[in-house]
């Protein structure tokens, strides 16, 4: 008499083979997903960088203000985003802070201000920071050079404008400092 089904041993062997294959494939799939997220993050940084370049080109090579400021503080040097890092800032206020920033008209996708590889933090809408010594009013401290125009940047091919803060949960104030000895 011919059997049409699997024996218990055969079924357990098949399940074990499937489990081994899943154990091999899952890490590879996770790595592929992370690589995809990194590609999206780099694309977002590129979009922000292009927005920064377009802003400079349309404003006589003046750089956008690297400081995150209160609304309407300095109309001559508008901030790339408005102040969005206070502890009690709501998501709506953070969205408005991005939308009223000087770069939003050049990069108007809110998702472009957030890297998908960062830690999942529901309180952060923006995960990128910009050099805060660019064309602002109070920074930098300690006598560092303030850059106002793109021509002020020495060796631009060796400089960064934007960095990913890694989703540190509010530690990103919107800017990061470059000290004067780095311009030599």
**pLDDT at residue 126, rounded to an integer:** 82
User: Does 138 fall in a domain?
Assistant: yes
User: Does 103 fall in a domain?
Assistant: yes
| The model's pTM | 0.75
User: Does 127 fall in a domain?
Assistant: yes
Neighbours of 154 (CB within 10 A): 12
**pLDDT at residue 79, rounded to an integer:** 81
**pLDDT at residue 87, rounded to an integer:** 63
Condensed to tens digits (0 to 9), the pLDDT of residues 13-39 reads 999 999 999 999 999 999 999 999 999
**pLDDT at residue 137, rounded to an integer:** 60
Residues of the chain with pLDDT under 50: 169-171, 180-184
Burial (CB < 10 A; 0-12, 13-18, 19+), residue 5, is exposed
User: Does 171 fall in a domain?
Assistant: yes
Q: In Å, what is the CA distance from 181 to each residue of 65, 125, 177?
A: 21, 33, 12
**pLDDT at residue 171, rounded to an integer:** 47
**pLDDT at residue 142, rounded to an integer:** 56
User: Does 49 fall in a domain?
Assistant: yes
Condensed to tens digits (0 to 9), the pLDDT of residues 79-98 reads 888 877 666 778 888 888 88
**pLDDT at residue 167, rounded to an integer:** 59
Q: How many domains does the chain have?
A: 1
**pLDDT at residue 180, rounded to an integer:** 47
Phi/psi of residue 39, nearest 5 degrees: -65, -40
User: Does 100 fall in a domain?
Assistant: yes
User: Does 120 fall in a domain?
Assistant: yes
User: Does 2 fall in a domain?
Assistant: no
Range of the domain at 88: 8-183
**pLDDT at residue 65, rounded to an integer:** 83
62: helix, coil or strand?
strand
């Amino acid at each position: 008499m011919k059997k049409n089904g699997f024996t218990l041993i055969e079924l357990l062997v098949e399940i074990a083979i499937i489990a081994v294959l899943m154990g091999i494939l899952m890490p590879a799939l996770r790595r592929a997903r992370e690589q995809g997220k990194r590609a999206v993050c780099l694309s977002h940084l590129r979009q922000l960088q292009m927005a920064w370049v377009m802003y400079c080109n349309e404003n006589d090579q003046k750089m956008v203000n690297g400081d995150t400021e209160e609304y309407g503080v300095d109309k001559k040097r508008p901030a790339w985003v408005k102040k969005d890092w206070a502890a009690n800032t709501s998501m709506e206020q953070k969205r408005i802070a991005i939308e009223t920033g000087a770069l939003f008209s050049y990069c108007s996708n809110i998702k472009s201000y957030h890297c998908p590889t960062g830690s999942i933090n529901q309180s952060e809408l923006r995960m990128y920071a910009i050099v805060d010594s660019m064309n602002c009013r109070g920074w930098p401290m300690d006598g560092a050079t303030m850059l106002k125009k793109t021509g002020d940047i020495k060796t631009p091919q060796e400089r960064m404008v934007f960095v990913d803060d890694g989703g540190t949960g509010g530690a990103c104030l919107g800017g990061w400092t470059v000290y004067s000895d780095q311009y030599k």
